[in-house]
């Protein structure tokens, strides 16, 4: 939807909500216009800054890796919000998740699907829904326009939730669990306006915290640390508990990173329990190139284990 507001500029001009001037005659024709773009089915990643920053290929971001992995199979949407915990995300979730609409009849889909027209020309089929089934799973390169169903949502919160109590971002662990369950219910409850029966759900625990780096940064700012690894670990365990109770897939990123750090420490014969974390974190909380590689690998393995049909066959 495009909307415009009046402004104090020339009477022949409008100002759009984005602040740009537009001629009145042009703006008038644009009011209430909507645009519909052909898309692939959707893989959405919902989370905090570790998700928001994960589009950066320079950091080997795991969302960027997913987009490359699923090119011409699914559109990967990054819905990461820096500084958010699950409760603040809950406040905006209605604007993030897709809303359920009346399912399209196959004749309607037939009319709008370029791929259907192409297939029909070749006398491959007579129904667009048959094409959709024929192209499932996503193991072959595909074309946009068939559907835009949410097929997989990955949810990664907990780093901000697990901050110390005096932090504004702190979220009690029981509320954190309730919020995660709320997200799952929105997608699974048939009465929800965000009901997505085809959506696979994956919960990811928060990553480890590099206590030494966090302490150094806090000292340089003349403040106290807001994160501690042992606090984040309890939230990671709670995320797994929620996922298991809801019977949805999960990635134990916290334990996965702890295992790698422990192996690193053993290889350098170090007894310092703080050694190794800086190899996988930029600033004690955000994933670097190595940390992102760990996460993407765990996501890949979880998809392969739970939904092997979603592993593409690369040509």
| pLDDT for res 32 | 57
Per the rule left: phi > 0, alpha: psi between -120 and 50, beta: everything else, 313 is: beta
DSSP string, 140-154: S---TTS---EEEEE
Instruction: Write down the pLDDT at residue 116.
Output: 39
Q: What is the pLDDT of residues 217-226, one digit of tens each?
A: 999 999 999 9
**Parallel, antiparallel, or unpaired: how do β-strands 200-204 and 4-5 relate?**
unpaired
In the beta sheet, which residues pair with residue 150?
42
What 3-state class would DSSP assign to 100? Answer: coil
Contacts with 226 (C-beta within 8 Å, 6 or more apart), sequence order: 163, 164, 167, 169, 214, 218
- Phi-psi sector, 133: left (phi>0), alpha (psi -120 to 50), beta: alpha
E strands present in 234-274: 249-251
Q: What is the pLDDT of residue 38?
A: 76
Helix (H) / strand (E) element for 243: namely: helix 229-246
Dig out the tokens for 223 from the structure: 């403040």
Helices (H), 113-172: 114-121, 128-135
| Token pair of 199 as six digits | 């959506």
- Give the residues of the chain that fall short of pLDDT 70: 1-37, 101-147, 314-315
Res 145: pLDDT: 55
Tell me, what's the pLDDT at 72?
Answer: 87
pLDDT tens, residue by residue, 83-131: 999 999 999 999 999 887 643 333 333 343 444 344 444 444 434 444 4
pLDDT given at position 164:
98
Please, are residues 125 and 175 in contact by the beta-carbon 8 Å criterion? no
How many angstroms separate the CA atoms of 8 and 226, rounded?
A: 46
């Amino acid at each position: 939807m495009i909307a415009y507001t009046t402004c104090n500029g020339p009477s022949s001009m409008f100002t759009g909500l984005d602040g740009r001037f537009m001629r009145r005659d042009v703006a008038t024709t644009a009011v209430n216009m909507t645009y519909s773009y052909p898309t692939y089915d959707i893989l959405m990643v919902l989370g905090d800054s570790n998700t928001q920053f994960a589009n950066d290929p320079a950091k080997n971001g795991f969302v960027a890796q997913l987009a490359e992995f699923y090119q011409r199979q699914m559109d990967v949407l990054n819905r990461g919000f820096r500084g958010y915990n699950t409760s603040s995300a809950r406040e905006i979730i209605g604007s993030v998740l897709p809303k359920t609409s009346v399912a399209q009849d196959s004749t309607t889909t037939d009319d709008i699907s370029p791929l259907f027209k192409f297939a029909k020309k070749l006398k491959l089929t007579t129904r667009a829904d048959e094409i959709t089934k024929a192209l499932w799973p996503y193991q072959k390169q595909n074309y946009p326009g068939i559907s835009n169903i949410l097929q997989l949502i990955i949810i990664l919160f907990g780093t901000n939730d697990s901050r110390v109590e005096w932090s504004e971002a702190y979220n009690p662990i029981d509320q954190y669990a309730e919020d995660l369950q709320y997200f799952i219910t929105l997608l699974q409850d048939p009465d929800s306006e965000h009901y997505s029966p085809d959506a696979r759900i994956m919960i990811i625990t928060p990553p480890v915290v590099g206590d030494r780096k966090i302490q150094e940064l806090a000292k340089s700012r003349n403040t106290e640390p807001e994160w501690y690894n042992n606090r984040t670990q309890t939230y990671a365990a709670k995320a797994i508990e929620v996922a298991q109770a809801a019977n949805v897939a999960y990635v134990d990123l916290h334990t996965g990173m702890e295992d790698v750090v422990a192996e690193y420490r053993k290889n350098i014969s170090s007894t310092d329990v703080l050694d190794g974390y800086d190899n996988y974190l930029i600033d004690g909380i955000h994933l670097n190139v190595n940390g992102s590689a760990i996460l993407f690998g765990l996501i890949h393995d979880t998809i392969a284990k739970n939904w092997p049909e979603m592993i593409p066959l690369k040509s």
